[in-house]
Amino acid sequence: MKLLLVIVFIILSFSLLFTDQLPISVDLNRFLDDSNNTVFDINYQLTYNFLHFEKTDAGFVANLKVEYSLLMDEKIIDKGNFSNKIIFPNQEMTKSGKLFRDKISVTLPSSGYTMQLSFYDTSSDLYSSWSKDLNILKRDSFLSDLEFSSNIVTDTTDYLDKFHRDDQLFFINCNHIYSKETVDSLYLYFEVGNGHYPVGKLYEKINIIKDDDTVKVITQELNCHGNKLPQIRKIDISNLEEGYHKINLEIIDPVSNAVNKTEDYFSIKKESVSNYRLFVELEDEIILMKYFLSSAKTKIWKNLTDDGKLQFIDRFWEINDSDVSTKRNEFYELIRERIKYCNNHYSHFGKGWKTDQGRIYIKYGEPDDILYDYTDLSTKYAQKKYEIWKFRTHYNYTYLFLDFQTNGNYKLIYSDNDPNESSSTDLEKYLGENFDMGLLN
């Protein structure tokens, strides 16, 4: 299940940008308390720029509401909710890619429970949900799960006490994704030892595996007597390749020959270089994508960092790829060719792909039928050219474009059946009272 959880967040972290979901990463780890009951630590994180901040007298405010339900045999044992209120004095921080983190902990004596979480940005329609069966550690286990971090800070104060690990402020990295542009090491936290089963000298072995090949091995000797001892490991990842890695940890008691194992996963992401840039300016990229995406799916763009915008662009083209079995992205190539056509045929005072005709051509391609004519002499304005585009093979759309300024920059004044386009209410004023509306059928 943990493998599945990590894979889901690696793969879907940016597909969520095109849904109504908050892109929240969640990580579950288990530890034994002094009574050998299992403590489940549920950490969650998201970047500030995915939240909707409202300007108030107190500053810029966002509110992340969390609802939780603990179930046994599909019956609710406990439920409740709380809110994370986030306030910044200025707008700059609201657009940053920095992380908001929080943690929920629950202690259970047995397996069979399920935890369900729902996350809501109360100032928008964005939400996300998470569910996990809670299976306890064995009571005689002398090894916990692994927690991952990108950075740790020595701190013996009570500040952010819930994130303290052995006098360290241990900022959990829930999605286990690392960029060598920003870090060259990762940190692991785990606990060794068991009060009911005292052990002495232990041996620790860490294997890091990529594509079924072991790429790093770390071994050392530990001393652990009775109580559980916190362990923090710094692992150099600077010489590891980009991609997905499995990490195995073994703790071996040479006296009893008992072996405890745990495994987890992390990914080293590629450098922030978009594979699908069409324009020099990033803002031109979002103008094009808005031809295909609703405003609800593009409203986060203004809050993304440049790195986030590049990933947004890549994800847009990837999810629209018409044939994932090939190395080519046929959709990207098709739209690129349509942009070239529009710039060659519809450019006047600006780029043709930004015109009304360019927008329709980029979305739907060449019309099945085009009618060219002039408006009636009875119009309020001077006689002007118009074009009627009809799509009938794959769609049942009709558009009428009018050359208002007689400069070849046709404006869309009529649309039929396309819910994303609108029509003017003054067609007779522009076309004349004798215009044959049957031409639009």
CATH code of the domain in which 98 resides: 2.60.40.10
- Burial letters for 313-326: b for 16+ Cβ neighbours within 10 Å, e otherwise? bbbbbbebeeeeee
Return the top range by mean pLDDT from 43-52, 150-159, 413-422: 413-422
pTM above 0.85, yes or no: no
Closest CA to 38 of 47, 46, 28: 28
Would you mind telling me the total number of residues written for the chain in this entry? 441
Dihedral over alpha carbons 188, 194, 198, 199 (to 10 degrees): -20
What domain range includes position 222? Answer: 140-271
Given 138, 165, 196, the domain boundary residue is 138
- 109 and 157 in one domain? no
Q: What is the structure's pLDDT at 198?
A: 53
- 53 and 169 in one domain? no
Q: What is the pLDDT of residues 204-229, one digit of tens each?
A: 999 999 999 999 999 999 876 656 78
Confidence category of residue 113, pLDDT binned at 50, 70, 90: very high
Q: What is the structure's pLDDT at 220?
A: 92
Confidence category of residue 273, pLDDT binned at 50, 70, 90: low
Q: Is the pLDDT of residue 193 over 80?
A: no
What are residue 328's phi and psi, to 5 degrees? -80, 155
Q: What is the structure's pLDDT at 415?
A: 95
Q: Is the pLDDT of residue 92 over 80?
A: no
Q: Is the pLDDT of residue 237 over 60?
A: yes
DSSP secondary structure of 216-257? EEEEEEEE--SS-EEEEEEEE-TTSPSEEEEEEEEEE-TTT-
- 134 and 149 in one domain? no
Q: What is the structure's pLDDT at 160?
A: 81
Q: What is the tally of structural domains in the chain?
A: 3
DSSP 326: S
- 152 and 130 in one domain? no
310 within domain boundaries: no
Q: What is the pLDDT of residues 333-389, one digit of tens each?
A: 999 999 999 999 998 878 999 999 999 999 999 999 999 999 887 777 788 999 999
406 within domain boundaries: yes
- 262 and 144 in one domain? yes
Given 210, 236, 271, the domain boundary residue is 271
Which residue is listed with tokens 């360019």?
Answer: 358
Given 271, 302, 333, the domain boundary residue is 271
